[in-house]
Amino acid sequence: MLKRPELNKAIRFIETRLKSKLILEDIADQANLSPWHFHRVFLTSTGITVGEYIRRRRVSEAAKELVFTQKPIKQLACEYQYESQAAFTRSFSGIYGISPGKLRRQVGPLQFYHAIQHIKKGEQMQTPRFEHKNKFRVVGITCENTMKSNNIPQLWSEFNERICPMMDRALSRAAYGICYYTDMAEMNEDTPFTYLAGLEYPLDEECPAGFTSRTIPEAEYAVFEHKGSLDTLNDTYNEIYNEWLPQSGYERKVADDFELYDERFNFGAPDSVMEIWVQIVRK
């Protein structure tokens, strides 16, 4: 069993529809998450994106049929939702290093990519504190990212170099990292999302030239601490969405994520602390 029943349900949903069109929004519904947050939870829980998991499972099941049936390759390509035999062959060859036709003639064992059966269980989840925060505004710089390509470390380096002109008007020295919420059904490891690194700034002042402004509405939050290296930050996000949230009596509000880096944050230090603020509503 998966440690979160909703994820297990979502994977069963995928497994029964490998020969049907799969839309991320429908899969995410099985886990009671938005497509954006399901994609993130799935990746941190399994180490693979939803799209890549589906691709590997389809190719693996097609490989079994290549070996054990006489179905034409073009028919298998169509059944497993490939737009053409050529697209199927490219995907198949990328995984097995051999074309479907050659595999059918090959004698010897074949390694299959099996359905996920469990997700590793982490340490006991921390209990968050609850905070009400009024509408606030963050001014900083942004970058575009994907699940495959992470530009956020470089963004923070650039932000630290450019921070001086806005320090006098910033409301505090605490830094915010805001991951813009993206509402889309079709998402994969190449889908772009926006991340902003910045400081809290007065609501009524003009945004400094060369910077971007983002206003976060008044909301209720569950606040979690991440301690130590940022290398394990995805593990903390996984525990929040995959462990705490389904048992909490709350739902995640459809809104931006944000991270708070205050005086307790010390990059790379084992006693470093940063916070993750999650907008919540009662179920």
CATH 3.20.80.10 intervals, the chain: 129-282
What's the chain's average pLDDT? Answer: 84
pLDDT of residue 111: 66
Distance CA 277, CA 283 (A): 18
Distance CA 26, CA 190 (A): 20
In this structure, of 152-161, 184-193, 236-245, 246-255, the range with the lowest mean pLDDT score is: 184-193
Is a pLDDT exceeding 50 seen at residue 273? yes
Backbone angles phi, psi at 34, to 5 degrees: -70, 160
Is a pLDDT exceeding 50 seen at residue 244? yes
pLDDT of residue 103: 79
What percentage of the chain has pLDDT greater than the value 70?
90
Question: Within 10 A of 109 (CB to CB), how many other CB atoms are there?
Answer: 6
pLDDT digits (tens, 9 = 90+) for 20-69: 999 888 998 888 877 877 887 788 777 788 888 999 999 989 988 887 78
pLDDT digits (tens, 9 = 90+) for 186-214: 566 677 889 999 999 999 999 988 899 99
Helix extents (H) in the chain: 5-15, 24-30, 35-46, 50-68, 73-79, 85-96, 100-105, 152-162, 164-167, 233-239, 245-247
pLDDT of residue 33: 79
Is a pLDDT exceeding 70 seen at residue 2? no
How would residue 119 be classed by pLDDT, with cut points 50, 70 and 90?
A: very low
Distance CA 102, CA 267 (A): 51
Topology (CATH) of 5-105: Arc Repressor Mutant, subunit A (1.10.10)
What CATH number does domain 129-282 carry, 3.40.50.300, 3.20.80.10, 3.40.50.1220, 1.10.645.10?
3.20.80.10
pLDDT digits (tens, 9 = 90+) for 141-159: 999 887 667 788 888 888 8
Distance CA 100, CA 91 (A): 10
In this structure, of 72-76, 171-175, 245-249, the range with the lowest mean pLDDT score is: 245-249
CATH 1.10.10.60 intervals, the chain: 5-105
pLDDT of residue 108: 47
Helix extents (H) in 114-226: 152-162, 164-167
Report field, pTM of the whole predicted structure over 0.75 = no
pLDDT of residue 121: 46
